[in-house]
């Protein structure tokens, strides 16, 4: 069986964070999360299938990064996660196939943006298509999640997306809350650090459950979720923003109180969080949020995007600013990386 497909899938920024897992290996979160799918920050992935020896088809799999100067072997840790996911997807068909995979991101890996959501969503879509399958978005979400990247499950849909938490794995797939056309928001990312973070998101999901505040955080989330859903339903940015900012800080409060504690913030994080509060005092409605890392995503309306980007650029510790907005989700591409 021979096939080839290329898919592009976007990153997303969570308004309500997935933080702490029921089942880390299968990407089953403890809590419901909500995100905005991005537009320009995307991963592109080409997958080729070919017949393989039946005794160990996975041994012939190959994983490349598509660099500007050609294909490069993927770094081992990254390749390992991709190969593990290919093993899962191989089980969808009866034939013995081997995969060749090439992947790239529209945003520099060193920009400190999470690429696992977009990467595994693109890999899942491209692989299933290369296998001749046509999964629904629901099925695609489940398959992408089983990569272990719970946020990849959200990147299969555009616009504003909700992913229920566990424990029932079969319920954990992305649901649309609103489309990209329904509400145009922007995400201006202040990149303040580009080194790999000291503690991976996976280790974070594991460790935050030890925070003495984790249980109370879970108790707070239904209220925040209601506010975010209502804000998206009513396009109410004034309702959305403060909840998003509180939630972004909260992720770090439980991380810093975990045992042992996890510290993701850098001096630049603090400068940027302060800069966002100053922006608001100057009448520009913008709100910060962060993933499990030091960079700050600043959510604003389109009319304020230029000013937000300008002010963030002026901050001494901001290395670069990435301007993105809400996007329409993954798509198949005609141009292949292999």
CB contact at 8 A, 101 and 64: yes
Q: Which C-beta is closer to its own copies: that of 109 or that of 253?
A: 253
Regarding 273 and contact with its own copies (CB under 8 A), the answer is yes
Task: Tell me: does residue 78 bind its own copies (CB under 8 A).
Answer: no
In sequence order, what are the residues at sequence separation of 6 or more whose Cβ sits closer than 8 angstroms to the Cβ of residue 9? Answer: 42, 43, 45, 117, 118, 119, 121, 122, 125, 155, 156, 329, 330
Count of residues engaged in binding its own copies, rule: CB under 8 A: 25
For residues 122 and 199, which CB has a smaller minimum distance to its own copies in the complex?
199
Question: Is the CB of residue 3 less than 8 Å from the CB of residue 132?
Answer: yes
Task: List the one residue from 26, 271, 301, 320 that touches its own copies (CB under 8 A).
Answer: 271
Nearest to 29 by CA among 169, 201, 181: 169
DSSP reduced 3-state for 93: coil
Tell the smallest beta-carbon distance from residue 37 to its own copies (Å): 28
Interface with its own copies, residue 269, by CB under 8 A: yes
Nearer to its own copies, 99 or 264 (CB): 264
Work out how close the CB of 130 gets to its own copies at its nearest, in angstroms, rounded to a whole number: 45
Which residue lies nearer to its own copies by CB, 18 or 214? 214
List of residues 6+ apart from 302 with CB closer than 8 A: 184, 185, 186, 325
Letter string b/e over residues 8-22, b meaning 16 or more CB atoms within 10 A of that residue's CB? bbbbbbbbbbbbbbb
CA dist 250 and 104 (Å) reads 32
How far apart (Å, rounded) are the C-alpha atoms in residues 93 and 230? 41
To its own copies, the closest distance from the beta carbon of 36 in angstroms equals 23
Instruction: Please identify, using beta-carbon distances, which residue of 257 and 328 lies nearer to its own copies.
Output: 257
Nearest-approach distance from CB 210 to its own copies, in angstroms? 12
Q: What is the DSSP letter of 67?
A: E
Q: Which two tokens stand for residue 35?
A: 């995100």
For the bound state, the minimum distance from the C-beta of residue 274 to its own copies, rounded and expressed in Å, comes to: 7
Applying the rule CB under 8 A, the residues between 209 and 268 that interact with its own copies are 212-213, 215-216, 219-220, 246, 249-250, 253, 256-257, 261, 263, 265-268
**Position 194 contacts its own copies (CB under 8 A):** no
Tokens (6 digits) for 91: 């089980």
Q: Is 274 in the site for its own copies (CB under 8 A)?
A: yes
Q: Which residues bind its own copies (CB under 8 A)?
A: 212-213, 215-216, 219-220, 246, 249-250, 253, 256-257, 261, 263, 265-271, 273-274, 277, 317
């Amino acid at each position: 069986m021979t096939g080839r497909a290329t898919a592009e899938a976007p990153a997303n920024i969570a308004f309500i964070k997935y933080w702490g897992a029921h089942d880390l290996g299968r990407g089953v979160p403890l809590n419901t999360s909500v995100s905005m799918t991005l537009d320009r920050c995307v991963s592109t992935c080409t997958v080729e299938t070919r017949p393989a020896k039946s005794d160990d088809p996975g041994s012939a799999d190959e994983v490349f990064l598509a660099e500007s100067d050609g294909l490069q072997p993927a770094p081992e840790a990254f390749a390992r996660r991709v190969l593990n996911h290919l093993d899962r997807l191989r089980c969808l068909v009866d034939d013995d196939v081997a995969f060749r995979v090439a992947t790239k991101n529209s945003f520099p890996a060193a920009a400190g943006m999470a690429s696992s959501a977009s990467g595994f969503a693109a890999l899942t879509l491209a692989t299933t298509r290369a296998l001749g399958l046509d999964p629904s978005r629901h099925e695609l979400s489940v398959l992408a999640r089983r990569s272990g990247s719970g946020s990849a499950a959200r990147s299969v849909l555009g616009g504003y997306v909700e992913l229920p938490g566990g424990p029932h794995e079969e319920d954990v797939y992305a649901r649309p809350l609103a489309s990209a056309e329904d509400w145009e928001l922007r995400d201006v990312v202040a990149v303040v650090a580009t080194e790999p973070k000291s503690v991976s998101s996976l280790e974070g999901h594991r460790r935050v459950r030890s925070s003495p505040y984790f249980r109370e955080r879970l108790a707070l989330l239904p209220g925040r979720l209601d506010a975010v859903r209502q804000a998206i339903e009513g396009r109410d940015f004034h309702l959305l923003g403060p909840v998003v900012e509180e939630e972004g800080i909260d992720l770090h409060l439980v991380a810093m109180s975990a045992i042992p504690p996890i510290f993701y913030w850098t001096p630049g994080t603090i400068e940027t969080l302060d800069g966002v509060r100053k922006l608001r005092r100057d009448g520009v409605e913008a709100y910060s949020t962060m993933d499990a890392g030091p960079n700050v995503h600043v959510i604003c309306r389109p009319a304020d995007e230029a000013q937000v980007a300008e002010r963030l650029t002026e901050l001494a510790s901001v290395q670069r600013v990435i301007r993105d907005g809400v996007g329409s989700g993954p798509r198949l591409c005609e141009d292949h990386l292999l």
